[in-house]
C-alpha cells in the first residue's frame, strides 16, 4: 500500500468533537453541582464561619466565658455617654449605676454609691470614683428629679448631671461598647465569649449525637434491610415502638430520669464534665437514630437486589462485608444528607431542653441556656435574648441550606444537570 496516498492529521483534529467537558469522578461531580446552588454555598460558608467562631474565636477573645465582672453587669453593646468634664465621660446604666468610660466607649471604672447617697427630698444622688487606695478621685451628683423615662423627658435632656457645682445639660452621645462587643450579662460576664462557648457546646452535642446516630442507625437499618424476613420484622417493630412515643417527649422524660442521678454523677460527669453535657448527649443518641435506620433500610432493600451483590455472594463474600463494603457505600448519598439534617435538629432540641431548664447548667452555657436567661429579662435587656437567638437561627439556616444542596447534588436522578 502506498504511504503517499495517506495524509496525517494534526493533533487538534484528533480530538473527539463530542467531548464537551472533562470526565469527573462522583465526588468531583457532586462538588461541581453543589457550587451551582448559591444557597448551598452560603450554607457552607455559614457552617465554616460557625466552626471558626466556636473554636478560633474563643482563643482570640480576651475574656473568659465564666469570668465575672460585677462592676460592668448588664452593659449593652451600645449606650449613651455624657461628657461631665474635659476627657471625662460617664454612662448611667438602667440599674442607675454610673460607669466611667472613654470617649470611644471603653469601660474604665465604676463609681461607688449606696442607697443612702440619694437625698429623698432633692432626688440628688452622689457618686464617688475612688482609686486603688480608696482615695477620692472625683465626685459626681445626678439630679433624678427629672423624669427617667425617655418618653417623658425633654428631647435633648435625659438627666441633669452636676459636676463640681457646674450644671451640664447637653445631649448624650451614643457609642459602641468596645470592651464587651456584645455586652455583658446579669453578673458581668462577656456575652460574646459565652455565645462562642455556647455555640461550641451546642455543636459538640449535635455532632456527637449525629455521628453516634449515624453509626447506630446505619448499621441497624442496613442489617435489617439486608437479612429481611423475620429479622427485619422484629428489628423494625422495635423502631415502631420507639416511634410510637413522640421523640421530644421521650427525650424530656429521659432527661428528667437521668438528671442528678447516680448514673450522671459517677459515669457521665467524669467523662463529659459536670453541667449536664453527658446527660443530654445520651438522651439524644438514644432515640434520634430511628429515622436514619428507616432510611437506610429502605435503601438497602432496593440495593441488595443488584447484580454486584449477587456476584459478591457467589464468590463467598461474608454478609458483614457485603453490607459494609458494598451496600452502605452505595447508600452514602442519602445518609450524608440525613446526617447533615440531623445536626440542626439536634441543636434545636438541645436549645429547647436547655430553655426549659433540662439542659446545660451553670457555669457552662449553651445557646439554649443563654436564650432562656435572656428571655427572663427581655423587656429590659433585649440584646441578651436577641444575640443567642440569632446564633441559633443562623446555625439552623446554614446547616439546612447545606443539607438541601447536598440532597440535590447527591441525587443520582439529577446527575445530568
Q: What is the mean pLDDT of residues 219-227?
A: 89
Highest-confidence range of 249-253, 260-264, 309-313, by mean pLDDT? 309-313
Cell numbers for 74 = 448588664
Q: Is the pLDDT of residue 262 over 50?
A: yes
Q: Is the pLDDT of residue 49 over 90?
A: yes
Q: Report the distance separating Cα 345 and Cα 349, nearest Å.
A: 6
Of the two residues 183 and 410, the one the predictor is more confident about is: 183
Q: Is the pLDDT of residue 62 over 90?
A: no
Q: What is the mean pLDDT of residues 172-183?
A: 88
SS3 (DSSP) at 110? strand
Domain ranges of the chain: 78-176, 191-414
Q: What is the mean pLDDT of residues 340-353?
A: 84
* Eight-class DSSP state of 8: P
Indicate the helix (H) or strand (E) that contains 271.
helix 269-272
| 42 exposure class (CB count in 10 Å sphere: 0-12, 13-18, 19+) | middle
Of the two residues 250 and 152, the one the predictor is more confident about is: 250
Topology at the third CATH level for domain 191-414? MetI-like fold (1.10.3720)
3-state secondary structure 318-363: CHHHHHHHHHHHHCHHHHHHHHHHHHHHHHHHHHHHHHCCCCCCCC
Q: Are 111 and 127 in contact (CB under 8 A)?
A: yes
Q: Report the distance separating Cα 382 and Cα 194, nearest Å.
A: 16
Q: What's the confidence (pLDDT) of residue 417?
A: 47
Q: What's the confidence (pLDDT) of residue 146?
A: 58
Q: Is the pLDDT of residue 292 over 50?
A: yes
Q: Is the pLDDT of residue 351 over 70?
A: yes
Q: What's the confidence (pLDDT) of residue 145?
A: 67
Q: Is the pLDDT of residue 416 over 90?
A: no
Q: Report the distance separating Cα 403 and Cα 417, nearest Å.
A: 18
Strands of the sheet with 78-85, listed across from one edge:
107-110, 98-101, 88-92, 78-85, 173-176
Instruction: Give this prediction's pTM.
Output: 0.80
Q: What's the confidence (pLDDT) of residue 172?
A: 65
Band the pLDDT of 152: cuts 50, 70, 90: very low
Alpha carbon 250 to its chain's center: 23
Amino acid at each position: 500500500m502506498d504511504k503517499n496516498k495517506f495524509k496525517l492529521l494534526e493533533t487538534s483534529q484528533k480530538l473527539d468533537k463530542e467531548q464537551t467537558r472533562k470526565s469527573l469522578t462522583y465526588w468531583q461531580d457532586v462538588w461541581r453541582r453543589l457550587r451551582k446552588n448559591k444557597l448551598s454555598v452560603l450554607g457552607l460558608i455559614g457552617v465554616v464561619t460557625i466552626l471558626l467562631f466556636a473554636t478560633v474565636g474563643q482563643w482570640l477573645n480576651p475574656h473568659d466565658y465564666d469570668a465575672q465582672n460585677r462592676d460592668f453587669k448588664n452593659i449593652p453593646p451600645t449606650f449613651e455617654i455624657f461628657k461631665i468634664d474635659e476627657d471625662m465621660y460617664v454612662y448611667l446604666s438602667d440599674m442607675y449605676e454610673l460607669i466611667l468610660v472613654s470617649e470611644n466607649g471603653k469601660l474604665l471604672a465604676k463609681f461607688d454609691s449606696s442607697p443612702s447617697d440619694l437625698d429623698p427630698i432633692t432626688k440628688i444622688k452622689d457618686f464617688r470614683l475612688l482609686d486603688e487606695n480608696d482615695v477620692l478621685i472625683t465626685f459626681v451628683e445626678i439630679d433624678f428629679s427629672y423624669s427617667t423615662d425617655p418618653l417623658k423627658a425633654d428631647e435633648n435632656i435625659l438627666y441633669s448631671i452636676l459636676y463640681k457645682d457646674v450644671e451640664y445639660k447637653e445631649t448624650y452621645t451614643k457609642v459602641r461598647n468596645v470592651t464587651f462587643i456584645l455586652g455583658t450579662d446579669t453578673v458581668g460576664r462577656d456575652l460574646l465569649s459565652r455565645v462562642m462557648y455556647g455555640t461550641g457546646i451546642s455543636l459538640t452535642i449535635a455532632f456527637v449525637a449525629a455521628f453516634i446516630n449515624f453509626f447506630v442507625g446505619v448499621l441497624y437499618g442496613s442489617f435489617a434491610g439486608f437479612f429481611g424476613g423475620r429479622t427485619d420484622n422484629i428489628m423494625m417493630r422495635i423502631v415502631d415502638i420507639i416511634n410510637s412515643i413522640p421523640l421530644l417527649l421521650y427525650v424530656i422524660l429521659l432527661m428528667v430520669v437521668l438528671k442528678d442521678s447516680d448514673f450522671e454523677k459517677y459515669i457521665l460527669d467524669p467523662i463529659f464534665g459536670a453541667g449536664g453535657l453527658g446527660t443530654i448527649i445520651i438522651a439524644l443518641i438514644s432515640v434520634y437514630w430511628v429515622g436514619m435506620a428507616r432510611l437506610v433500610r429502605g435503601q438497602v432493600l432496593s440495593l441488595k437486589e443488584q447484580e454486584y451483590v449477587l456476584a459478591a455472594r457467589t464468590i463467598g463474600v461474608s454478609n458483614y462485608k457485603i453490607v459494609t463494603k458494598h451496600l452502605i457505600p452505595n447508600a452514602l448519598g442519602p445518609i450524608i444528607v440525613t446526617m447533615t439534617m440531623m445536626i440542626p435538629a439536634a441543636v434545636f432540641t438541645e436549645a429547647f431542653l436547655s430553655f426549659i431548664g433540662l439542659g446545660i447548667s451553670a457555669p457552662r452555657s449553651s445557646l439554649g441556656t443563654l436564650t432562656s436567661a435572656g428571655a427572663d429579662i427581655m423587656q429590659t435587656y433585649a440584646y441578651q435574648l436577641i444575640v443567642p437567638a440569632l446564633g441559633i437561627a443562623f446555625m439552623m439556616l446554614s446547616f439546612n441550606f447545606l443539607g438541601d444542596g447536598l440532597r440535590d447534588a447527591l441525587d443520582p436522578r439529577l446527575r445530568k444537570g
